Each structure stands twice: as C-alpha cells, then as structure tokens.
Amino acid sequence: MTDEDRSYLEGRGILPEVIARCRSVKKWQKLSHTAHVNLPGVNRYGSGLNNPADGILIAIPGIGGYLTNLRLNVPLDLNRKYSAISSANRGLKPNLEDGGTPFGIFFPENWTDFTHIGICEGPEYKAPSAAQRLNFPVVGFEGAAGMTTIKRYPARLKQIEDYVKEQLCKLTKNEYLKLSSVWQSTMMSFATFLTGQTTKDTQTEYSFPVQISAQFAFKMLGVCLFPTMNGQKIGTIFTESKKLLKEWSTPSSFGTKEPTPTEPSDTLPPSHSRKFSSPFRFCLIPDAGMEKNSSVMGFYTKTLKAIESQGYLVDVADWG
C-alpha cells in the first residue's frame, strides 16, 4: 500500500487490522499471479483487473470465506468513491447466485460476544471495523438500501446464521484443546454438576461432559465456556451449568430441545420463548450519516422489520 493511501485510511480512523486487508492499485492493475477469470473484476485473461481508476482495492469475503466481489475506493472521486469492479462485458457482474447484491461477513480477532450478529452498511471499512470494535461478527451491505434486500432474499439470514455457527464451532473446538488440562483436572466435578450424580464412579463413567443440546451449548459459550477470556473461574462454570440445567435437558444425542412453556427461564435469551429459536440476535449498527439523510432511517426500519418477520430478535448498537 502506498504511503498516501495508508495515511488517508489512518486519518479516517480505520483500524490497522482493516487496513491490512487493503491494497493500492493502479488503473487496469496488472497481476503478478493469474487470477480466475470467473471472478468479476478480473479481465478475460486473468492477468489484470478491470478497475477504471487508481484507488484502494478491498476484497470482500462472503459465506464460506469465498470472495463475493472486489470493491474499489477512489477517495478523491465522489462519483465513484465506492464501486464494485465488474466484468459485465463478459456477463460477469458481482451478483450472488440468487441475483442479489453481494455482502461481506467479517469476524473479529477477539471474538467474545457469542449472542450477536451485526449488520451495517459499508463492506469496505465500516463492517470489518465494527466487528473488531464490538467483538462479534458483522455483515456489511452495500449502502443502507442494500440491507433491505433481506426482505427479498429471506434465506440469507439463515445462511448467515449457519455460517457463523460453523465458525463458532471451530473456535469452540480450539478452545477445548487449549483448556484440555483444565477440563481433565475438573472433569469429575463438572460431570457431577451436569448430571446431579455424586457417586464415586462419576469420573470413570463420564470421561467427557455428557452431550448437551445445541442451544445449551451456545448459551454455555457466552456464559462460562472461556474462563481465561472473561475472567470467570471454574467454580462459576459449575454454578452456571447447574442453573441452566433447570431449563434445559441433556439428550443422549447432540440436538436441540426447547424448554417447557411452564418453566420460563430468565437465564436464556428472549428468543428461546418463541416458536422459532436462534442463539443469535441480529444487531443493527446505524451509520452516523442518518442524521444528514432522513431516508436512511427508513431503510433501517424496513431492515429491522424484515428480520423480525422471520422470527429473529433484533438489537441496535453503536460503533463501540
């Protein structure tokens, strides 16, 4: 990246982790390695990009970590300050398979909030910056109007949720490995609190904590799975586990089971009281520009209503 572009981004307060994803490019940028010709924005030979001006190139990762499109930021050109690089002459526009405009999904380096998925405009800088600051995944759409496409493509929310769950499971597995020595030294007590059994055979009978329901597992993540990350002690883990088991069963196979309606829980997210159950809330992160443009608020309202109509709970957060 050129010193000029780096200074521009630093002057805007863009985080170093986000700047590291950006590259300075010249008009019709040549590539040192051939790129796949089916990626919109790449020329027909795979040897260069179709960027019509000098600027800052940002690759946008989508579901599965695959690139959804290449964005070009031309700071001094207000007419195309942010735009997608296209290969429209070859019929390759940066659209998703369902025909909608692409969006990006960004994960924080320090993921500590396991109950929210953020949504905001700005897949170039705003969404990845929000993820780093708020410590939960954030989905970035192309402008406030882009967020309203959730209403036309309702399957997207479930796709996003499933992808975040997948990444969370990978993180969970890694943390289990890191804390394996801790688990081994406390296994008997942990199994005792989970099952309510106090026999001397507990440690032998349960070489690993009994399998639990998916929702219970996700709740455990946010409350007590990472004692080294949130300062909680092992004793707190046992206490919280005991509380949660009043509302959740522990089936023999890893699956889900809703708490009975007669036993409401104040320890579970409100979404679990609905017929539709998700471990996440979708959290809208408004842009400061809404104060200057009243129409933006209308887009936000439509987006929140579209999310709620699919059974999800919503929340609102600032940029942290």
Torsion of CA 305, 306, 312, 314, to 10 degrees: -40
H or E element in which residue 175 lies: helix 155-178
**Structure token digits, residue 112:** 């500590």
pLDDT of residue 56: 96
What is the arithmetic mean of pLDDT over 131-156?
89
What is the arithmetic mean of pLDDT over 99-127?
90
The band of 173, judged by pLDDT with boundaries at 50, 70 and 90, is low
Asked if residue 216 has pLDDT above 70, the reply is: no
Return all residues near 186 (Cβ < 8 A) that are at least 6 apart.
Answer: 234
pLDDT of residue 131: 94
What is the arithmetic mean of pLDDT over 130-138?
94
How many CA atoms are closer than 13 Å to the CA of 19, on its beta-carbon side? 16
For 297, 299, 300, 306, 315, the CA distances from 294, given in Å and listed in that order, are 6, 9, 10, 19, 20
pLDDT of residue 114: 87
Q: Where are the beta strands (DSSP E) in the chain?
A: 22-25, 55-61, 67-73, 82-84, 104-106, 116-121, 138-141, 281-284, 314-316
pLDDT in tens, 238-282: 455 445 444 443 333 333 333 333 333 333 333 333 334 577 899
pLDDT in tens, 50-84: 999 999 999 999 888 888 889 999 988 877 789 99
**Structure token digits, residue 63:** 């579901």
> Helix %, strand %, coil % for the chain, to 5?
40, 15, 45
pLDDT of residue 167: 87
Q: Which of 2-16, 19-33, 35-49, 83-97 has the lowest mean pLDDT?
A: 83-97
The band of 318, judged by pLDDT with boundaries at 50, 70 and 90, is confident
What's at 239, amino acid-wise?
T
pLDDT of residue 243: 53
Query: Per mean pLDDT, which of 107-111, 172-176, 272-276 is the most reliable?
Result: 107-111
Map out the domains of the chain as residue ranges.
1-89, 95-320
Distance CA 78, CA 128 (A): 22
CB 236, CB 276: distance < 8 Å: no
Asked if residue 6 has pLDDT above 60, the reply is: yes
Distance CA 195, CA 213 (A): 14
What is the arithmetic mean of pLDDT over 134-140?
94
* 82-84 vs 67-73, strand pairing mode: antiparallel
pLDDT of residue 223: 40
